[in-house]
Structure 1
Amino acid sequence: MPHKDADHPVVKRQKTAAPASASKAASDSSRIFAPFRTVGLVSPTSVPFTSIPLGKTTFQISTSVGRSIQTYDLRRGLNLVFITRPQTPADITATLAWKEKIFAAWGGSKKGESQGIWVFQRGKKVDELALPSDLDEPVKQILILGIWTIVAATTRIEVFKTATLEHYTTIHTTPANNRGNEITGGIVSMPTFLNKIFVGRKDGWVEIWNVSTGKLIYTILPPAPDCGSVTCLEPSPALSLLAIAYSEGTLIITNVLTDKVTLRIEAGSSEAQVNSISFRTDGMGAGNDGRKDGVMATATAATGDVTFWDLNGGGRVMGVLRSAHNPPSYDGPLVRGGISKIEFLPGQPVVVTSGRDNSLKSWIFDETPFSPIPRILHSRSGHAGPVNCLEFLPTDFEGADAGNKWLLSGGQDRSLWGWSLRRDGQSTELSQGNIRKKAKKIGILATNALSHGPTTTLEDLKAPEITCMASSLNRDGGIGAMPGNQPIWQKSRDRKKAQDAEVSGMTGWESVVTAHKNDPYARTWFWGRKRAGRWAFPTGDETNVSTVAISPCGTFALVGAESGGIDMYNLQSGNHRQRFPSGLTPGQARQLKMQQLRQADDIVQMHAEATRQFPVGTGKHTKRITGLVVDSMNKNVVSCSLDGKIKFWDFLTGNLLEQIDWAPMTFPTGCRYHPASNLLAFSCDDLSIRVVDMETKRTIREFWGPQGAINDFCFSNDGRWIIAASQDSVIRVWDLPTSHLIDAIRLEKPCKALAMSVTGEYLAATIENELGVTLWTNKALFKHVPTRQISEKEIGQVSAPTVSGENSHGMLEGAFEEEQAEDEDTVVAPTIEQLSSELTTLSLVPKSRWQTLLHLDFIKERNKPTEAPKAPEKAPFFLPSTTGKENPMASKLQGESEAESSSRITRVEKARFEEVLSTKLRAGAETGSYDEFIEHLKSLSPSSADLELRSLSIGDGDEDSNELLHFIRALTARLKTRRDYELTQAWMTVFLRLHFDLVMENQDLLAALSEWKSYQEKECNRLGGLVGYCSGVVSFLRSPRT
């Protein structure tokens, strides 16, 4: 499409349709990227975890992550030990760990969805249960009771034999009105109750069934009609005592033998129903000194608190572990929270909790001094909300390969995470200070234990959710940066004290800068120390931050505002250094005013526009800044805004140098920079990506194709590709040199953020409303990727990477894949021998070939041996000698035989070789077209061409057999067509050098040579005239007088 400015060239646009011959069926895989795995998922679902003791030394805890189960080892610090494979066909709804096996129920949540129960052992599927064909309800719980495996659905219970996994019987709960027979409290078994299970119902009843006979034995009614439905059942360590929690907040401990309530407490409310109960079994923890038995813990999905009860003396609250997990966020359902399950480990002062905030934690009780509230022991977690932005860490000043190991991600849960792609245990959330200590100071953790109303949460003490980030490790001091307790996020207007620049100069300073949603401050972070930094940089006009950038040297941070302002701060001192445009002194302001008055004159204004000089202090963006970039040399700052302008600023002075105006044609929404190629890419609101050369400030590429807004995009590590994710759920890859769409990945949901590692090994992507980060490997590192243009019809549905890495491909695996037949990479330009018959055209033969032909004699002379070959040294006495006097006649006869054989073969091949040359030359003489002869001669090597020319003969003296005459005429005909000019000259030079004596003795050859000479002189004069004319014109244009 034509550029807006007339002096700009026509932009090379991307082809939007492939040739008809290249049309193919949709592919179910990417040509460049292969799914690898998903990181960041620990316990993202509401399915409770399941645990089992492993010997007497440790416990294994298994959590559901959608369609796989991850198993963690407690003794190893909750390190991941197993991931189940293959993935279940649908989401997992219930799990159970039993002995060395894990049972996983999946599917059935949607109408018509298939379901089943698989059995895993050490991460591998070993068996499965055959569910009844009439089961159309999802499985909610699995329980093993001796020889029985019991599966609870919504209103029915399936019983299997544990030994053979055969279906035994089906138990239907007693029908009731308003679906009161639904199983809402789960099923449990109790010690000494053989073949008995307890079932909690929606109508508040607890039924006791015999699974062996399939009969209802007894029903425990609620203590009051208004208790609501049963939400949780848990047997106590004391025999015959069962804890029952109801939806209205009542919790009772009843004796199932006598059906009498032993204890009744209000453990929750209708808004915060108790969904998990656990009893401590090590005989400690209760009483004033913690040496009595009788501790119970309760938790609810409505908050992140765990309440500990002392059941002695009627029951009392010992303490509340506030915000053990994040509560459900008031920002929306996407940021999950609440506790899904708590469990005291058998015989241990340790309680394990899992939350819907994608975390798994273990807590331990201290005996000396005694504390009724446990402290954190181990923790594994991830983002509790969808991820907004991604960035691979660049390599540091030492060239360490951190960019291929560490991935930064900012999510809607107000956290910044660093993910290790080599070892999951190293992944960590960057600290925002001691949040719990702050909460205690303002009373958040000291509220009434049973108060479940809306209060200030720990989430409110964190920084708002991250929307943009930038990093540079050149000044990162690692774990030793700025030692000591430094203040966190000091604002410029209320800083406590000045910082010592000498200390930060020796140890380094912050290396990450982030922008936050609806917040006027950009915040800094220490990557080496994995904690929040010292500074919070405000925008110049107190509007919200829209984007941030950091200089390649790691010293300066730039903050873009929604109002259009740009400010630069020093990361070492935290001081404001520059504004874009720069501020004006009173004298400069008066001068600017006078200049504006002078420009009222049309001539002056036209001259100012022609020179493109911008006055100091002018050029500020008028709308939201959408992209900020600092070039690799710290010379220029590039900014783009929703006002449609792209501005180039001087880094030191803050003055506007140049600008590109795309309004009202389009408005840039994002900017990316590739330092090595010095290219800028801009995503625009017209669903296109434009590439600008930073040197010429001109648009060199335009890429079209997305059917929805562009969510994120990035350059490949080598700057050859542009990878973009759009709202139409497609990730597209364009090739910059060819301007082709070479690959596309269609996902089930849109991709919201993209990042590519600095080595090009990984592509990281986040899926809309998903918590994990998917990783793809780059197959192009070890195999050729065609650059053929693909069409939209060839974009097929591709499965995203999974947590278990099932069907994943590493880079080396991609290298050994079988090559599929592909069309030509690009549309190959036809080989044009000659653009016009009026042009003298050179051949496409390499220059070295005809130059070698000209100097072949000198090359042979140079390559001659300088001395005669030496006789081989005598062999040692213990080895037989092949050069001695033994059988000399045999050696002589053998040598003569080999020489004779060799000479015979050489003579035959030589005769055939000369026959081809003579045939093509005589055929050209008969037809008058020597094209085949010339093409044959062009294909020969220098030594072969020299042999051909030497083999030409004068024949019998007549014209038909005179090969020398035909050769001169062939070169003359080629000279007339003005083709292969340099080859013609080289061949004639060699020909005259070899056959000059014969030519001088034959009148026919002299006449043919004179004809060739006349055409040669004519062509030389014509070329000389054209070259002289061009030289004169250029000299005239370069003359200073013109």
Structure 2
Amino acid sequence: MPGGSSLFSGFRVLGLYSNHVPHALRYHKKHREFYVVTSVGQCFHTYNVNRLGIVSVSNSLSDDITCLAADRMLVFAATGRLITAFARNKEVVMCYHGHKQEVRLLLPLGDQLISADTGGDVIVWDVQEGDVYLRLQFDPASFDVSAMMHPSTYLNKVLLGSSQGALQLWNIKTSKLLFTFPGWSVGVTVLQQSPAVDVVGVGTATGRIIIHNIRLDETLMSFTQDWGPISSLAFRTDGPPVLASGSPQGHIAFWDLERRQLVTQHRHAHRTAIAAATFLHGEPLLITNGADNAIKVWIFDQEGGAPRLLRSRQGHSAPPTSIHHHGNDGKNILTAGQDGTLQSFSTIHERFNKNLGHGSINKKKEQKKKKGLSYEELRLPAITAFSSAAARQSDWDGIVACHRGCLAATTWNYQRCTMGVHHLTPPAAHKTDIATAVDITTCGNFALIGTSCGRVDVYNLQSGQHRGCYGNDGKAHSGAVRGVATDTLNQLTLTAASDWLLKFWRFKSRKQEDQLKLHAAPASMMLHRDSGMLALALDDFTLLVVDIETRRIVRKFAGHHGNINDMTFSPDGRWLITVAMDCTIRTWDLPSGFLVDCFLVAMAPVGVSLSPTGDFLATAHVDSLGVYLWTNKSLCGPVGLRPLPADYQPSEVTLPGVTVDKSEQEVTSEGVDEGVDDAYESAEQLGAELVTLSLQPESRWKSLLHLDIIKRRNKPVAPPAAPAAAPFFLPTLPGLTPRFTLPTTTEKETQSKLVSWGLMSQRSEFSSDLESLIYTIVSEYEIFDRPVRLLKDCGPAALSVELTCLSSEGGGASSLLLAFIHMIESMLSSGRDFDLAQGYLALFLKLHLRSLSKDPVAMAALLRLSSRLELLIRLLSVCLYLFVFVYIIGLFIK
């Protein structure tokens, strides 16, 4: 295994929808539907607005996308100094080279594309040819281009906004500056065309919104937003004169242009800055996206002009820290992120995704108003550990989570997608204590929570009541609890803590039975309940596997060079998969005690979970918002797993959805070839005394003896008649209604078109091959390999024609009959294609037995063939009797 992983291959990434790049909106005339295009790093996704279902994923680029634009046919994406055009939302059709600095603005305009970079260059491209049509150079110190817009009905005109506040109107066809607007002494961040001709909306860096008439150079009105710079502007076009403005705090303000006042505001529409906001043309729908990894569609159907959320696609706005599969079907993955939310991602389709929300201290709105607390103050910190059980999730909460720096553990309901009603807090606990570990029993009735002071408490999930704690003095350990687990039958409880002890407790009586002293403090632990194997990750980067039945350490693994972040077992308990800060994902084989698979990733993995069905491995990584899926190649075919040496140097594997360069493609292909060599290939024939079937369909040899019956049954009732040729002048019948007459058929046309056998004097390819082998000494099956392959490609009717043509009446010769007998004899002697040999021989004797009886040489060959057939039939009958005997003995034993 010179490179890559022999066990897992990248499949796709879940939970990535948007980033800080403003989206692009397209309208498809044929489909009569709007599509929104969002960037997710090195590629972009296309969604339909009606359902927000993903339509396509583009090919990956070499770098992250910095800006997007789209017209009727193409999608343009800028990565650094390169601009790429995509057709059909996926394929790269053109690349535009010419910028010396990073491109930050794109504007499609008819057959041209206008781009601006950070160095002050504005280039007009010919979209079809990819040539530079016009290049404008600006000094960033005096006019730094920060916004671009094409004014409606202004042919070949482009309005440029600068960070210094001035505006310039250019004619890109004549390369002339038409007018310069002095501006308002503040930087321009957004330029947006209004539904009225000559009127433009200007957003500034100070939060001021200016509605300006560029034809008269007159400011019509202005508004001031208190949330900082204007990040986006959008005019409503379905009737009400409303302007929407976005802010860096994620708030959206709506302004009435007739009354010149604020209509309403929507706070916390996104958790980060509003990257772009766009009204659909002629519809009361607003589309927004942001760096919080969310796309949202808002509808204006409420009184007062306030919007409500119609549909959304959102993932984690901060990297996930813990992931686990929920349920036994392996289709849903629960993830907890640094943003404090708990979400569920479906591996089947995005419409099954769930957002369980953010934990809060008090969910009642009335008490929020009474206390006067802000939204951020009521939110709980991020989840550090959680456990889920699907056994009783329809009756009560089935998820328990621990939060960073909090003593109380929260419950969550998966089916209602909300936070639960219980806050599990141990009695008589100190305020500085923190919940560190949690586990739910298999039955789903109890939750065990370990704290930093060494307590392990038991709670009833239905009522949320405290049911007791482990230890005589109320403490199970003298250090912080790092892991809690219960067995399948709720008889045994296992706890591990920073005091270097692994303790075994009776679940019901909560009395200690045994303890195991470790050589280092455990960081985490994982129990595979079906096999009774407990995995412990220690602070010295080693792994221990403990058998909870014998309570002994059965395996010890060393190889990681960083903190072990997470681990998971395979469904059968054979493999232990671990991830660590050394950016490696390792698979340990427990029966043999060796490392069998190891590969590197670019970002350190912090969470891992293998599905209960064993088909997908899910990983979460540092500084990445997605959940990455890897397919288990052992379920698709044979995989050669070999023990890796102690000094094995793993190679890096690209994460799913990221570009693979040429060097890594070569390494991957070498790894695939290595795996193919390990696969077992069956031989053509295992032994001379055995018989092998051909694996051909039964219709190829079973129907050979009944071809005459099949032809008689399928014979047409009337012979096929050729359509009558229409004459130049069509004759009609006499009468009031004109009707055409058909020409009468002649006797020559009714004659048979069948060709006699005498006219077919040309030999077929099969007959020619047999004729070339007439004087060959028959010793091996390979001599007749080509004729047999030709017969295998023939259907029953074609096979009957080939065998009929072997006789002299069909254009053949008696020597061909003898050669065919030799071919059948070689097939029987080799033991291959036994069923085909029987079928071919039966049809051959049915057609030529009368002529063969007059040839003594052919009869001698048939006698030798008969003796060989008798021997094979006796062998088969003995095998059949032995099989029946063994089957009857087996029935008696049962």
Does TM, scored on the shorter chain, surpass 0.5?
yes
Pick aligned residue for 1:167 from 115, 132, 135: 132
- Which consecutive segments of 4 or more residues in structure 1 shift more than 6 A? 433-437, 803-807, 821-825, 879-884, 886-893, 899-903
Over 3 Å counting, the alpha-carbon distance change for 1:304 and 1:690 in structure 2 is: same
Letter paired with 1:97: A
Pick aligned residue for 2:269 from 319, 324, 331: 324
Tell me by how many angstroms 1:568 deviates.
0.6
Q: Could you tell me which residue of structure 2 aligns to residue 239 of structure 1?
A: 197
Q: Greater shift after overlay, 667-676 or 519-528?
A: 519-528
Whole-Å separation in 2 of the counterparts to 1:516 and 1:787: 41
Q: Could you tell me which residue of structure 1 aligns to residue 288 of structure 2?
A: 353
Pick aligned residue for 1:124 from 90, 99, 104: 90
1:633 aligns to 2:489 (yes or no): yes
Tell me by how many angstroms 1:318 deviates.
0.6
1:181 aligns to 2:155 (yes or no): no
Over 3 Å counting, the alpha-carbon distance change for 1:895 and 1:559 in structure 2 is: same
1:787 aligns to 2:617 (yes or no): no
Provide, for residues 799-848 of structure 1, a one-character-per-residue CA deviation record: whole Å limited to 9, x for no partner: 011179999xxxxx99x9655366899xxxxxxxxxxxxxxxxxxxxxxx
| Alpha-carbon contact 1:754-1:764 (below 8 Å) kept | yes
Pick aligned residue for 1:510 from 372, 387, 397: 397
Tell me by how many angstroms 1:460 deviates.
4.0
Q: Could you tell me which residue of structure 1 aligns to residue 426 of structure 2?
A: 539
Q: Could you tell me which residue of structure 2 aligns to residue 88 of structure 1?
A: 61
Tell me by how many angstroms 1:891 deviates.
12
Tell me by how many angstroms 1:675 deviates.
1.8
Letter paired with 1:386: P
How many equivalent residue pairs? 695
Q: Over alpha carbons, which structure has the higher Rg? A: 1
Whole-Å separation in 1 of the counterparts to 2:246 and 2:363: 23
Paired residue secondary structure (1:509): coil
Paired residue secondary structure (1:362): strand
| Alpha-carbon contact 1:464-1:516 (below 8 Å) kept | yes
More helix by share: 1
Pick aligned residue for 2:517 from 661, 675, 678: 661
Paired residue secondary structure (1:140): strand
Whole-Å separation in 2 of the counterparts to 1:435 and 1:159: 55
Q: Greater shift after overlay, 91-100 or 160-169?
A: 160-169
Whole-Å separation in 2 of the counterparts to 1:434 and 1:457: 12
Pairwise CA RMSD: 3.4
Letter paired with 1:324: A
Paired residue secondary structure (2:503): strand
What is the correspondence of 1:686-725 to structure 2 with a 5 Å cutoff? 686-725=540-579
Tell me by how many angstroms 1:373 deviates.
0.9
Q: Could you tell me which residue of structure 2 aligns to residue 926 of structure 1?
A: none
Whole-Å separation in 2 of the counterparts to 1:170 and 1:252: 29
Whole-Å separation in 2 of the counterparts to 1:524 and 1:407: 17
Over 3 Å counting, the alpha-carbon distance change for 1:374 and 1:893 in structure 2 is: closer
Q: Could you tell me which residue of structure 1 aligns to residue 234 of structure 2?
A: 278
Tell me by how many angstroms 1:129 deviates.
2.9
1:340 aligns to 2:275 (yes or no): yes
Whole-Å separation in 2 of the counterparts to 1:121 and 1:895: 69
Whole-Å separation in 2 of the counterparts to 1:656 and 1:145: 76
Provide, for residues 108-142 of structure 1, a one-character-per-residue CA deviation record: whole Å limited to 9, x for no partner: 2xxxxxx422222233214123221xx22111121
Q: Could you tell me which residue of structure 2 aligns to residue 975 of structure 1?
A: none
Tell me by how many angstroms 1:624 deviates.
1.1
Pick aligned residue for 2:112 from 148, 153, 157: 148
Q: TM-score, normalised by structure 2?
A: 0.73
Q: Could you tell me which residue of structure 2 aligns to residue 391 of structure 1?
A: 324
Provide, for residues 233-280 of structure 1, a one-character-per-residue CA deviation record: whole Å limited to 9, x for no partner: 1122112122222212222122212222221222245xx211111111
Paired residue secondary structure (2:578): strand
Q: Could you tell me which residue of structure 1 aligns to residue 49 of structure 2?
A: 74
Pick aligned residue for 2:209 from 234, 244, 251: 251
Q: Could you tell me which residue of structure 1 aligns to residue 580 of structure 2?
A: 726
Over 3 Å counting, the alpha-carbon distance change for 1:123 and 1:163 in structure 2 is: closer
| Alpha-carbon contact 2:236-2:284 (below 8 Å) kept | yes
Paired residue secondary structure (1:802): coil
Whole-Å separation in 1 of the counterparts to 2:288 and 2:361: 20
Tell me by how many angstroms 1:715 deviates.
1.4
Paired residue secondary structure (2:675): coil
| Alpha-carbon contact 2:485-2:494 (below 8 Å) kept | yes
Q: Could you tell me which residue of structure 1 aligns to residue 257 of structure 2?
A: 311
Structure 2 alignment gaps of length 5 or more: 663-667, 681-844, 873-894
Q: TM-score, normalised by structure 1?
A: 0.63
Whole-Å separation in 1 of the counterparts to 2:285 and 2:570: 48
Over 3 Å counting, the alpha-carbon distance change for 1:804 and 1:342 in structure 2 is: farther
Tell me by how many angstroms 1:435 deviates.
11
Tell me by how many angstroms 1:559 deviates.
0.7
Q: Could you tell me which residue of structure 2 aligns to residue 291 of structure 1?
A: none
Pick aligned residue for 1:195 from 156, 176, 179: 156
Pick aligned residue for 2:354 from 428, 433, 437: 428
Letter paired with 1:295: V
Tell me by how many angstroms 1:219 deviates.
1.9
Q: Could you tell me which residue of structure 1 aligns to residue 331 of structure 2?
A: 405
Whole-Å separation in 1 of the counterparts to 2:94 and 2:848: 75
Paired residue secondary structure (1:711): strand
Tell me by how many angstroms 1:700 deviates.
1.4
Q: Greater shift after overlay, 521-530 or 417-426?
A: 521-530
Q: Could you tell me which residue of structure 1 aligns to residue 729 of structure 2?
A: none
Letter paired with 1:384: S
Over 3 Å counting, the alpha-carbon distance change for 1:895 and 1:88 in structure 2 is: closer
Q: Could you tell me which residue of structure 2 aligns to residue 864 of structure 1?
A: none
Q: Could you tell me which residue of structure 2 aligns to residue 416 of structure 1?
A: 342
Whole-Å separation in 1 of the counterparts to 2:359 and 2:553: 46
| Alpha-carbon contact 2:168-2:180 (below 8 Å) kept | yes
Percent of counterpart pairs with the same letter? Answer: 31
| Alpha-carbon contact 1:735-1:787 (below 8 Å) kept | no
More strand by share: 2
Whole-Å separation in 2 of the counterparts to 1:534 and 1:431: 14
Whole-Å separation in 1 of the counterparts to 2:148 and 2:89: 26
Provide, for residues 145-204 of structure 1, a one-character-per-residue CA deviation record: whole Å limited to 9, x for no partner: 22321112122111112343322121112x26xx343222x2111012221111111111
1:578 aligns to 2:468 (yes or no): yes
Over 3 Å counting, the alpha-carbon distance change for 1:204 and 1:882 in structure 2 is: closer
Whole-Å separation in 2 of the counterparts to 1:525 and 1:618: 27
Pick aligned residue for 2:100 from 118, 122, 136: 136
Whole-Å separation in 1 of the counterparts to 2:44 and 2:373: 34
Structure 1 alignment gaps of length 5 or more: 1-23, 109-114, 285-293, 327-336, 396-400, 447-454, 478-507, 583-616, 808-812, 826-878, 907-1042
Letter paired with 1:219: T
What is the correspondence of 1:769-808 to structure 2 with a 5 Å cutoff? 769-781=623-635, 782-802=637-657
Paired residue secondary structure (1:203): coil
Tell me by how many angstroms 1:436 deviates.
12
What is the correspondence of 1:949-960 to structure 2 with a 5 Å cutoff? none
Over 3 Å counting, the alpha-carbon distance change for 1:258 and 1:713 in structure 2 is: same
1:51 aligns to 2:51 (yes or no): no
| Alpha-carbon contact 2:231-2:273 (below 8 Å) kept | no
Q: Could you tell me which residue of structure 1 aligns to residue 615 of structure 2?
A: 761
Q: Could you tell me which residue of structure 2 aligns to residue 673 of structure 1?
A: 527
Whole-Å separation in 1 of the counterparts to 2:461 and 2:167: 64
Over 3 Å counting, the alpha-carbon distance change for 1:762 and 1:282 in structure 2 is: same
Provide, for residues 343-395 of structure 1, a one-character-per-residue CA deviation record: whole Å limited to 9, x for no partner: 111111111111221111111111xx632211111111111111010000132
Q: Could you tell me which residue of structure 2 aligns to residue 529 of structure 1?
A: 416
Provide, for residues 439-483 of structure 1, a one-character-per-residue CA deviation record: whole Å limited to 9, x for no partner: 687459x9xxxxxxxx96545444321111111212222xxxxxx
Paired residue secondary structure (1:820): helix
